[in-house]
Structure 1
């Protein structure tokens, strides 16, 4: 992180930096992990409702795809915990931070896909099918704006090449 007033970064060792970054990752995981687990829990119950059998093949296929995407997202977002547990004590925390960060980004991408397909499914059942793309597309654009475009814009606008 750059100290703009003095033009220098934090004064920390590589181990301290890895510890700080790991704590940041844990905070991020807590938010995303909880959301995906609750969503996946609800999704898993749908197949056991009487209404499921009356869904068309497109809706059933979309449901299956949504459950798979949600499961993949949960796996990627829970992965850093297992990763840390298996490598803890082997003095590779900086590398663990890199891999955990990659898993979290993958989990978030899969979460975007899960939320989008879940919304598509719900709206296909609840509204006129012709409206669904017009309702889902702006929500997907909102996810992409909030989760990727704004952070990437801020990163390019407010940081130098020596990223944290």
Structure 2
């Protein structure tokens, strides 16, 4: 079968492929958006609790970094929606899907950093600093195993 420039080996046109990838991406982003929004809401409310004043200067710094990371993750994970709105009708869906995918990966990396920092903050508050750091390192390794190593292994082994 001879395929033209706009058709993939699976028989999809560029437009059909972009539509399919867009729908898949939106499903993935919905899950991540919910998680990051709940986490950010929790983090924003922490500053208004009575025990917030008990945080050390270092813990307040970790809190600020965590809030900034959470806000950045939220922005990146929501960004595909306004990007799509801005280019709708401009015949730019393949490019919008590519950029939205990149924003989603960036958002997921920022979400990972937010989770790690939030855990560090909480565990430093309830445990000693060394134990907190080791637990957070273990959780970070687990996330990397689930989010990076496993997908890479699956892609490699087919």
TM-score normalised to structure 2 length: 0.93
2-structure distance, mates of 1:10, 1:96: 21
Deviation readout 1:76-121 (Å, 9 max, x if unpaired): 0000001000001000100001000000000000001000000000
**Which residue does 2:28 correspond to in 1?**
28
Q: How many residues align?
A: 151
5+ residue gaps, structure 1, are: 1-7, 159-164
For residues 31-46 of structure 1, the aligned pairs below 5 Å read 31-46=31-46
1-structure distance, mates of 2:64, 2:139: 21
For residues 25-104 of structure 1, the aligned pairs below 5 Å read 25-104=25-104
**Secondary structure of 2:12 counterpart:** coil
What is the Cα deviation at residue 156 of structure 1? Answer: 2.5
Verify: 1:153 aligned to 2:153, yes or no.
Answer: yes
**Which residue does 1:161 correspond to in 2?**
none
What is the Cα deviation at residue 10 of structure 1? Answer: 2.1
2-structure distance, mates of 1:128, 1:17: 51
* Poorly superposed stretches of 4+, deviation over 2 Å: none
TM-score normalised to structure 1 length: 0.89
**Which residue does 2:105 correspond to in 1?**
105
What is the Cα deviation at residue 9 of structure 1? Answer: 4.2
**Secondary structure of 2:90 counterpart:** coil
Indicate the RMSD between aligned Cα atoms, in angstroms: 1.1
**Secondary structure of 1:115 counterpart:** helix
What is the Cα deviation at residue 73 of structure 1? Answer: 0.2
